[in-house]
Structure 1
Amino acid sequence: MGNGASSSNSGCNSIGGSFVTHHTSHTMANGASSGGGSGGGNSNNGIVEASLMSPAAADDYIPNETPLPCLPISNALHAGMGHPNDGNTNTSSIAAMCGSVNPAHFSIIDSTLREGEQFASAYFNTAQKLEIAQALDDFGVEYIELTSPAASPQSRADCAAICKMGLKAKILCHIRCNMDDARIAVQTGVDGINMCIGTSSQLMKHSHGKDMAYIAAKAKEVIEYVKSKDIEIRFSGEDSFRSDFSEIIKLYSLVDSLGADRVGIADTVGGATPLEVFDKIDALRKVISCDIETHFHNDTGCAIANAYTALEAGATHIDTTVLGIGERNGITPLRGLMACLMPKHREFISNRYKLEKLSHLEQLVARTVSIEIPFNALVLPSQKCD
């Protein structure tokens, strides 16, 4: 997360040049620069300034220059890594990548009704939103994320209607980092708020035109307000994988100290690789105590692998959508995440989620957005382990 971490990878940069502005037009607009409330960009107090200037963890962050995958020694030899005792391989790097997933410590935030609305043919009316929300709840997702109620009067009314359904899942809404959005969101009755603002140099220049000091001040204002209402709050830097990660660590250390329930790491342009994901999530996990949410776009086909790797590194929440729908070619698909977790955690996953309801959920969404379920959709067992 400094140096090489400031940009995801060379492929990511080329992708970002084409797509990041389009994504921002849906999620950020220009409102991030016009947040209401008394705490404007010049309201920095000691905690904001000190936290952004001097957390030691950020200064110590050095991305793994030559990360090695978690392979058996025999495979490592075939891969040209040498033998652990011949002085030609970094065994600590291999060991570091051998993370493990504790399924009891993660939750699904399904964003079909937020990210999914950015899919090319997704036009959910109120009745469809209610039906999809119910089906997601029947399946067992822990969170359902909705479009910002500040986006339109209809979005606000739909958000309030879903909050009144009495679902087991917690209802979240996605907002920009400003007080006007936060006040509207609180009024709908949501259980939590997912706040974001662009933190990459590209978005700070072309989306909202503000710097990290401004972002920190606005984040502090919104977090303190939302927490005073006893509502969950997540802070996420949009395009955070292409952001200067030493600055991300400083910023996230601040919002953690302010009481944020989660911080979000977003691969907005879909260029992150699993090794990079492990490196950055692991570094962040070592310096903050709050939960870590991840959001992976699938532009390079790595969304499922990145999500699983994030869990291995210490992430606690994974954003998904049904059939992976979303902007461009979408994000981590719900079924794909289940399939990735099942081989090692079948009994736990089968007990937590009603896998037999997934096909109905996918058929509902496919019909609503007028697409076919892929011929190679992964097959999941519906029965529990013996």
Structure 2
Amino acid sequence: MSQIYLYDTTLRDGTQSEDISFLVADKVRIAQLLDELGIHYIEGGWPGSNPKDIAFFKEIRKVELKQAKIAAFGSTRRARTTPAKDTNIRTLIQAEPDTITIFGKTWDFHVREALRISLEENLELIYDSLAYLKEHVDEVVYDAEHFFDGYKANPEYAIKTLEAAERAGADCIVLCDTNGGTLPFEIGRIIDQVRKQIRTPLGIHAHNDSECAVANSLVAVEHGIVHVQGTINGFGERCGNANLCSIAPALNLKMDRPCMSEEQLRNLRIVSRTVYELANLVPNKHQPYVGNSAFAHKGGVHVSAIQRHPETYEHIRPEKVGNITRVLVSDLSGKSNILAKAEEFNINLDSKDPVTQEILENIKDLENQGFQFEGAEASFELLMRRALGTMRHFFSVLGFRVIDYRGHGDARPLSEATVRVKVGGRIEHTAAEGQGPVNALDNAMRKALESFYPQLKDMRLFDYKVRVLPTGKGTASVTRVLIESGDRLARWGTVGVSDNIIDASYQALVDAYQYKLLQHQERQNRQD
């Protein structure tokens, strides 16, 4: 059975996605991550299109990669010029990549309307460009752009374009579903016909406009494709490209076509999240295999079952892709959810303990009020510890006041918060300003507490979300505030609910401080 090669184009196709732009340093870092993951080819960009891609190829030559080949991307020569005189072709060679990938036209409609040349002249463009590149680089990949649309429109001509690439010595011919509109049953049928006439190894490049990019790629492998192109997290233009974070585990774990080692596959989630971070995007929590919710269980029946046999509701073991099983708590929860979370938090709780039922009823009552603990597990852990009487009382807030003031004209509003906190027998009364009322309250609380607990200085607020709950009361509606906080070791979520947004924010902030102090105390206890 043939080896399957993964060809990553995150650094080119991925950057064509709306809202994504990588610095040269980001691209180098991602290339290193992909190499460590076991990706065989890394397409660095189109060196003839912009200075950033030219700089990347210079920088990546200074990096020692373990296995990956660096590919440069470009197009066939222009009409009415030779490859030797074509700026794009020359720039590809000057980039000194391990592999050069060029695309050409397959669809007769594009040849006539986009290039405005004859069908025969297009075949010459493909042949001349590939033959010339083969004289200057060890490996050349040909991307047959719009192949499936072209084949459906004019199968005879589409095959002729592949034959031109084959005669020129292309090492791999990639069949591209550029518009992303081909369905899996069409992919297999067309590839079978192509393989009857083309002997060069074939690849697949699928876009996700019909949400079939991953399925099309896997079907292509079943029909003899040996080279699969895609991007990390499915980044790409319009609806994205085939997602290698889904393709790699499917090949390794489900199709018996390993494309990376078991150890490398366990790094899949961290690579996915790092690329999200470098792209400055929030990770898709519902993404298969690597998302936070990919192995999250909420219904009590599900949780009870996975505790006995995880395979009852998990299609693979999450650890194989670097993920974990998560148990959520909500109004759908049963005792099994509560017990599973207690075990996760190292809290000793028995199914027969009356407190377990008390916690469960409390959860359901709070969620009925609008609380949500799925994104606020720190608040849930604090709730359990308070019910069990194991929560240390770090501080009390005796009262707070927030004032907003806006002057005339375009003057910025001013926010000031005053708080009174009690720690032990001491009372601290402080005030602070901030960028808005919640920031002012956060600053005042920190100012009051840091004199007692200096460890709060390394705690940061990472995210703040407000949700207006559908009560039909307009501006008097109940609001839910979710806050994500963290330090250099961890991140945690807390929640507050109130018909006053400042009060809801206060509840979430207090839980965030309490959780930080709890974690610090437990770390000290472990060290002792």
Q: Same fold (TM over 0.5)?
A: yes
Is the counterpart of residue 221 in structure 1 residue 154 in structure 2?
no
Is the counterpart of residue 254 in structure 1 residue 197 in structure 2?
no
Amino acid across the alignment from 1:312: E
- Within 5 A, what are the aligned runs for 1:317-328? 317-328=227-238
The partner residue of 1:170 within 36, 52, 69 is 69
Q: Which residue matches 2:282?
A: 372
* TM-score, scaled to structure 2: 0.51
Would you tell me which structure has more helix in proportion to its own residues?
1
CA contact (8 A) 1:299 1:329 kept: yes
In the alignment, the residues of structure 2 paired with residue 165 and residue 198 of structure 1 have an alpha-carbon distance, to the nearest angstrom, of: 34
Post-superposition shift, 1:105?
A: 2.2
Q: Which residue matches 1:68?
A: none
Q: Which residue matches 1:287?
A: 197
Q: Which residue matches 1:207?
A: 114
CA contact (8 A) 1:303 1:331 kept: yes
Q: Which residue matches 1:302?
A: 212
Amino acid across the alignment from 2:49: A
Q: Which residue matches 2:34?
A: 136
In the alignment, the residues of structure 1 paired with residue 236 and residue 217 of structure 2 have an alpha-carbon distance, to the nearest angstrom, of: 16
In the alignment, the residues of structure 2 paired with residue 368 and residue 198 of structure 1 have an alpha-carbon distance, to the nearest angstrom, of: 33
CA contact (8 A) 1:240 1:248 kept: yes
CA contact (8 A) 1:322 1:334 kept: yes
CA contact (8 A) 1:339 1:378 kept: no
* Closer, same or farther: CA 346–235 of 1 in aligned 2, 3 Å: closer
Post-superposition shift, 1:283?
A: 1.3
Give the 3-state SS of the residue equivalent to 2:73 in structure 1: strand
* Closer, same or farther: CA 235–210 of 1 in aligned 2, 3 Å: farther
Amino acid across the alignment from 2:19: S
Deviation sequence 1:117-140 (CA, Å, 0-9, x none): 101111111110000000000100
In the alignment, the residues of structure 1 paired with residue 55 and residue 148 of structure 2 have an alpha-carbon distance, to the nearest angstrom, of: 33
Q: Which residue matches 1:156?
A: 54
The partner residue of 2:248 within 334, 338, 342 is 338
Bigger drift between 215-224 and 139-148 goes to 215-224
Give the 3-state SS of the residue equivalent to 1:370 in structure 2: coil
Deviation sequence 1:305-336 (CA, Å, 0-9, x none): 10011011111111110100000110110111
Deviation sequence 1:343-368 (CA, Å, 0-9, x none): 43469356267012212211121112
In the alignment, the residues of structure 2 paired with residue 130 and residue 185 of structure 1 have an alpha-carbon distance, to the nearest angstrom, of: 18
* TM-score, scaled to structure 1: 0.69
Q: CA RMSD in A?
A: 2.0
Q: Which residue matches 2:143?
A: 236
* Closer, same or farther: CA 177–248 of 1 in aligned 2, 3 Å: same
* Closer, same or farther: CA 126–350 of 1 in aligned 2, 3 Å: closer
Deviation sequence 1:66-101 (CA, Å, 0-9, x none): xxxxxxxxxxxxxxxxxxxxxxxxxxxxxxxxxxxx
* Closer, same or farther: CA 235–339 of 1 in aligned 2, 3 Å: same
Amino acid across the alignment from 2:98: D
Post-superposition shift, 1:224?
A: 1.7
In the alignment, the residues of structure 1 paired with residue 44 and residue 127 of structure 2 have an alpha-carbon distance, to the nearest angstrom, of: 23
Would you tell me which structure has more strand in proportion to its own residues?
2
Is the counterpart of residue 112 in structure 1 residue 4 in structure 2?
no
Amino acid across the alignment from 1:292: L
* Closer, same or farther: CA 210–264 of 1 in aligned 2, 3 Å: farther
Post-superposition shift, 1:383?
A: 4.6
Where does structure 2 lack aligned partners over 5 or more consecutive residues?
78-82, 290-315, 322-528
Instruction: Report percent identity of matched pairs.
Output: 28
The partner residue of 2:273 within 363, 369, 382 is 363
CA contact (8 A) 2:15 2:21 kept: yes
Give the 3-state SS of the residue equivalent to 2:247 in structure 1: helix
* Closer, same or farther: CA 116–220 of 1 in aligned 2, 3 Å: same
CA contact (8 A) 2:108 2:157 kept: no
CA contact (8 A) 1:321 1:332 kept: yes
Post-superposition shift, 1:145?
A: 0.8
